[in-house]
Amino acid sequence: MRDLFAWLKKFAIVLFILSVIIVYFIYTLLKPEERLPIYQPDMVNAEMVDSTVRYIRKYHTIKDFELLNQNGDTITQEDYKDKIYVADFFFTTCLTICPVMTDHMLKIQEKIKDDPEVLLLSHTVFPKTDSVPVLKEYAEEKGVIDAKWNLVTGDKKQIYNLARKSYLASKSNGDGGPYDMIHTENFVLVDKEKRIRGFYDGTDAEAIDDLMHDIKVLQKE
């Protein structure tokens, strides 16, 4: 009788382990793969989108650009080809949201510094004063890694067109004079096909955690 109880105990343990394994595999198979949305202009707050692209419902991508980085190098889409990247808009003399955003970008940089798939791109919204030397000094002061993060300047109209028509991240088109500036806290996640996959509050630490999670989701797609 004792042997029978011992055998039944072993059988019950084995049955329990097999049940757990089966349930796990069924759950894994049935659980849908996590995927990020592909943002189109008609999915975003209309105030942040130029009227010429506001009603586009598919195939929206970041348009080609040609800007100068902190080293005076020309930066184009080719530098971000087959890369996931995080884009934002800032200016070096900003004393409100920009310092917090830059600190969060630095934290992202630290997490992706050894990941060849992910880059950063920050556009100055005040190119009149944020020249290449100014961006270089700012980059050195903050600890920007040149190979991971471009701070870019250039033609104001091009930058604002990118903000409103490509990144869908500005209420202003920059036509209101030299001090009419984009002032958005948005970090924009762009995939390898130049599509927008997420918007995040660059001043919110929890949003940055969400962004890092979503980068990993993109890498699995």
**pLDDT at residue number 41:** 96
pLDDT of residue 114: 97
Same domain? 143 vs 174: yes
pLDDT tens per residue, range 103-140: 999 999 999 999 999 999 999 999 999 999 999 999 99
Instruction: In whole angstroms, give the CA distance from residue 188 to residue 217.
Output: 15
The residue whose two tokens read 């919110």 is: 204
User: Does 183 belong to an annotated binding site?
Assistant: yes
- Is there a binding annotation on residue 213? no
> Cα separation of 221 and 213, whole Å?
13
Q: CATH number for the domain including 153?
A: 3.40.30.10
Domain shared by 26 and 134, yes or no: no
Residue 132 has phi, psi (to 5 degrees) of -55, -50
DSSP state of 52: T
Q: What is the pTM of this model?
A: 0.83
At 148, phi and psi to the nearest 5? Answer: -110, -25
36 in a structural domain:
no
pLDDT of residue 27: 47
Q: Is 98 annotated as a binding residue?
A: yes
Q: Are strands 74-76 and 66-68 parallel, antiparallel or unpaired?
A: antiparallel
- In this structure, the answer to whether residues 67 and 7 fall within a common structural domain is no
Read off the pLDDT of each residue in 139-152 and give the average, rounded to a whole number. Answer: 98
pLDDT bucket at 176, cuts 50 / 70 / 90: low
3-state secondary structure of 154: coil
Same domain? 12 vs 72: no
Q: Are 5 and 68 within one domain?
A: no
Is residue 139 within 8 Å of 151, Cβ to Cβ?
A: yes
Number of folded domains that form the chain = 2
**Between 221 and 25, the higher pLDDT residue:** 221
Q: What is the mean pLDDT of residues 162-171?
A: 90
| Residue-number span of the structural domain to which 49 is assigned | 41-220
CA distance 10 to 181: 72
For 36-95, write each residue's pLDDT tens digit: 999 999 999 988 898 899 998 999 999 999 999 999 999 999 999 999 999 999 999 999
Q: Looking at the structure, tell me whether residues 108 and 59 fall in a common domain.
A: yes
